[in-house]
Amino acid sequence: MAKSILIVDDIPFVRKTLTDIALELGYKVAGEAADGTEAIEKFASLKPDLVTMDIVMPKMSGIEASKQILQIDKSAVIVMITGMDQETLVMEAIQAGARDIIQKPFNSAQIAKVFERALKKDHAAAHTPSVSAKTGS
């Protein structure tokens, strides 16, 4: 059975791109959310296997939403998505419990690796995520 994903980003194009990549990789997209508040509500009702969470969003940041999701389910798998030059926020995301980080711009090969790594049952908790920088140059 395909793993389900909740895609959270305030930019519709990013949500669509992540949805397309997830479907192409054989995942089921359980739903989408445009901000942290909506992400918490959708997580509680959909109970996805993985959440992709943009760090910077209106209403509630991805970091705050992640903290609240992890209060609902401490085993939630959250992968943060960040733009360039957000190192401080990346550290906050890791401390908040993010399993991994995807840096924009991203490609499907990176997404595949990060999703696979984040969903491994024997994952060494949220304290050892790696930052997936863009490949090429």
* CATH number assigned to the domain comprising residue 77: 3.40.50.2300
Residue 101: partners with Cβ closer than 8 Å, 6 or more residues away:
79, 80, 81, 82, 90, 93, 94, 114, 129, 130, 131, 132
Eight-class DSSP state of 5: E
What's residue 16's pLDDT? 97
Split into its structural domains, the chain has a count of: 1
Q: Report the predicted TM-score, pTM, of the whole model to 2 decimal places.
A: 0.86
Return averaged pLDDT per consecutive 10 residues of the chain, 137 residues in all: 95 96 97 97 97 94 96 96 81 91 92 94 48 40
Helix (H, G, I), strand (E, B) or coil at 103: strand
Q: What are phi and psi of 92, to 5 degrees?
A: -60, -40
Domain membership of residue 52 (yes or no) is yes
Task: Answer yes or no: is 105 within a domain.
Answer: yes
- Look at residue 121 and tell me if it is in a domain: yes
Domain housing 118: 4-132
Residue that is written with structure tokens 């609240």 in the block: 68
Is 32 a member of any domain? yes
How high is the pLDDT of residue 128? Answer: 43
12: preceding bond cis by omega (within 30 degrees): no
Tell whether 137 is covered by a domain. Answer: no
